[in-house]
Amino acid sequence: RKEVEQDPGPFNVPEGATVAFNCTYSNSASQSFFWYRQDCRKEPKLLMSVYSSGNEDGRFTAQLNRASQYISLLIRDSKLSDSATYLCVVKNTGGFKTIFGAGTRLFVKA
């Protein structure tokens, strides 16, 4: 079983739609969680960190469920520019081991 698992998609949604991605992780000692965005043939870029109480950044909301060991990303009012691959990232306690999920592809169409 992979340490971090994501639905690869693709998710095809119309502009203005709300879309949610989930990501599960297997190591209960994981301490830090992030969502990165990666455009086609580009480098990953940090989208947002994920905090225990949940956090929001504009149209993006991230949630963490430690009991079930998953994190989620909700995108409201999708824009064409949101089309990208979204990477779930988990960092374990006390070290530098950062595990990247394989990513979920999102296509937003007009």
Partner 1 sequence: NAGVTQTPKFRVLKTGQSMTLLCAQDMNHEYMYWYRQDPGMGLRLIHYSVGEGTTAKGEVPDGYNVSRLKKQNFLLGLESAAPSQTSVYFCASSRITGEQYFGPGTRLTVT
Please, what is the minimum distance in Å from the beta carbon of residue 72 to partner 1?
Answer: 18
CB 108 within 8 A of CB 11: no
Report yes or no: 19 and 78 within 8 Å, Cβ to Cβ: yes
H-run or E-run covering 99:
strand 98-100
CA–CA dist 31, 14 (Å, integer): 35
- Of residues 78 and 87, the one with the C-beta less far from partner 1: 87
Q: Report the SS3 class of residue 88.
A: strand
Specify the residue, 78 or 90, whose C-beta has the smaller distance to partner 1: 90
**Least CB distance to partner 1 at residue 46 (A):** 5
Nearer residue to partner 1 within complex by CB, 76 or 91: 91
Give the footprint of partner 1 on this chain (CB under 8 A): 2, 4, 8, 32, 34, 41-46, 49, 87, 91, 96-103
